[in-house]
Amino acid sequence: MMEKALKKQLRLEALARRDALPVVWRIEASLQMADMAAAIPVEPGQIVSAFWPMRSEVDIRPLMFSLREKGARLCLPAILDKTTIVFRELVRGAELVQMSYGTAGPPEDAEVLDPSLMLIPLAAFDARGHRIGYGAGYYDRAISRLHDKGLDPRMIGIAFDCQEVPLVPDEPHDVIIPEILTESGLRRFGDA
């Protein structure tokens, strides 16, 4: 139980640091990160999951559009119930609908896709690639389902440098993110 309490504290502290970043600085850093992401190889037709930014998250829309220009098929998470997210295709010009947590995404009739590259939002991370999400475990379960299907997507966490913490407590269900993109660049951990 101590791990959960410590994770909650680390999450709150990291998000407070992120919230304190000036809006204009966050926009500039987001654009800088989109430029850095140009080095991420994407095959035409490759399925890439992203996320529509909420609150003070990195605005990855410029990065998404850059990947789309390289031929990627984009998808965004949609919460189906208290435990499940799926990734619905984001089609240029299609209307977005309001989703949970104040974000937006493709409507129910959008095609559900299995990404081979996942851009993952996070609240905090450490130098080992361990992440703290927002606490609901949606991404951990979605990644586990992809693995159960025999898929092994490339996972890149998206955050600002200020969200790094000294050490994320390990829990058995945690998914380690082998790469994190921040305004300082793309960092790889372990065997990535």
What residues does 104 pair with on adjacent strands?
98
CA geometry: angle 182, 186, 124, nearest 5 deg: 40
For 64-190, list the strands marked E by DSSP. 73-79, 85-90, 97-98, 104-105, 112-113, 117-121, 124-125, 131-132, 154-158, 179-182, 185-188
105 is in an annotated binding site: no
Rounded to whole angstroms, the Cα distance separating 78 from 89 reads: 10
Burial class (CB in 10 A: 0-12, 13-18, 19+), 118: buried
The verdict on whether residue 9 carries a ligand-binding annotation is: yes
**14 is an annotated ligand-binding site residue:** no
Q: Is 134 annotated as a binding residue?
A: yes
CA dihedral 31→37→38→41, nearest 10 degrees, is -160
For residue 188, say whether it is annotated as part of any ligand binding site: no
- 133 among the known binding-site residues? yes
Cα gap 126→157, rounded to integer Å: 11
Contact 129, 87 (CB under 8 A): no
Q: Is 7 annotated as a binding residue?
A: yes
Q: Has 135 been labeled as part of a binding site?
A: yes
- Kindly report the number of other CB atoms within 10 A of residue 17's CB atom: 17
Neighbours of 132 (CB within 10 A): 22
Query: Does 139 show up as a binding residue in the annotation?
Result: yes
Is 4 assigned to a binding site?
no
Which residue positions form the known binding site for ATP? Answer: 7-11, 131-139
Which residue positions form the known binding site? Answer: 7-11, 57, 131-139
Which residue positions form the known binding site for substrate? Answer: 57
